Each structure stands twice: as structure tokens, then as C-alpha cells.
Amino acid sequence: MLEYKTEAGQRLIPMNDQVYAVATRLWERARAFNGTASGHYVFPACENGHVDPTRNQKSFRTAWRSLTRAVQCAACGKLQRPNGSCSAEDCKADMRGIKSPLAGLRFHDLRHHAITELAEAQVSDQTITAIAGHVSPRMLARYSHVRNEARRHAVAALSAKPTGSWFSSDGTSGYDTNNDTKPRAEEEALPEVIERNGRLVGTRTPDLHRVKVAL
């Protein structure tokens, strides 16, 4: 969990494996300059190569600009700043007209993308709010629309490919579901998982229970 401090108090944010791996790398880097105390910042200030973990980094505009402008040479694969030719001494391939695939990406777009992914995964509004923090009613309605659109696509997929036969066992036309409802032989059983639906005693709704588990 990440502990996020706001004016309203503190909020715990769950981390997935990728975020945890990045946080671990930041921790290892902080050990190199003795920046692992409880009051030290994850993103410390750095001026003229000197890192001060007691002060936070106020801006990462230069780093973000470099990240979203970086281009990759098609000939040697080197990642570099935009230029007329490749900066690698043994390459010098023509780099004119190559544009970064991240050009125009804003940092806040990452948050919007993450919430959209959660909505498409059918995560409830309560859970999204618990993870993302404040979300305006207008934006929450937009994410709800994204969730409903994902449901429509899922239902539409049911009619995309028929699973039964359009001919009955006597050769006449019709939809035969005999093979669909016959139990599979034990050796042909497919792997499956069992999901327990419902809620624990004492919780008001399943969504509130899921939010409590997520936190």
C-alpha cells in the first residue's frame, strides 16, 4: 500500500506488482544517498547533482519533456533526442521525420487512462473513487458510460460465433443444443475456477465490501 497524504488526511492506495517493483528500485536508489528515513521523500530534490531527501522534487517538467520527445533509431535501435541523424557514432542513420509515439502525452492522461481501464474491467464506482481519490460527478458518469459500453461489447460477442449446430440430429434444419448440454467426459473436463458471489454478514452492499477489501 502507498500512503498518500492530503489536506483531508491520509489515503491508502493499493499497488500492483509493477508499481511495487518500481517502488523497490526507488528504495534501492535511495539507499545510495541515505534517503530511506521515514521523513524522506520518494522523489527528492536534486540540484547540481546533489540529492537532498529532506526536500521534495517540485517539478519534473524537463524529465517529462525528454521522455515524451525521445525517438528510437530504426537502424540501430538507440533511444535518443530528436535529431537529423542518429547520435550513435557507428550508425548516423537519417532520423528526419521520426516522431516520438508519446508526443503530446500529458502526465494527467495516465490517471485518466488508468481509471478508464478500471471501468472497462467492470470495477465499481466506489472502488474507482477509493483508488483514484476525488472524481467529479461528470467524469464518474463518463467512466460509467465506458463500463456500460464494455458490457455491450461483451454481450454482442455472444452472437458473434454460434457454439451449437444449425441442424438437428434427424437432418432437418434447426438449432441443436444436445451437444451443448451434454456433460463432458471426465478426461475432457476443462480447467475452471469457482467464484463465490454475495457478501459477508454485516456489510450493506457487495460494492462496499469490495472497497473494504481493496483498501
Would you say 113 and 196 are in contact if contact means Cβ atoms under 8 Å apart?
A: no
Q: What is the pLDDT of residues 67-115, one digit of tens each?
A: 999 999 999 999 999 999 999 999 999 999 899 999 999 999 999 999 9
Give bridge partners of residue 167 from the DSSP assignment: 173
Phi, psi (deg, nearest 5) at residue 209: -65, -40
The answer, as to whether pTM is greater than 0.75, is no
Would you say 14 and 215 are in contact if contact means Cβ atoms under 8 Å apart?
A: yes
Q: For residue 140, what pLDDT is reported?
A: 87
Please list the ranges in the chain whose pLDDT falls under 70.
Answer: 1-10, 161-215
Q: For residue 181, what pLDDT is reported?
A: 46
CB neighbours of 136 closer than 8 A, spacing ≥ 6? Answer: none
Q: For residue 85, what pLDDT is reported?
A: 95
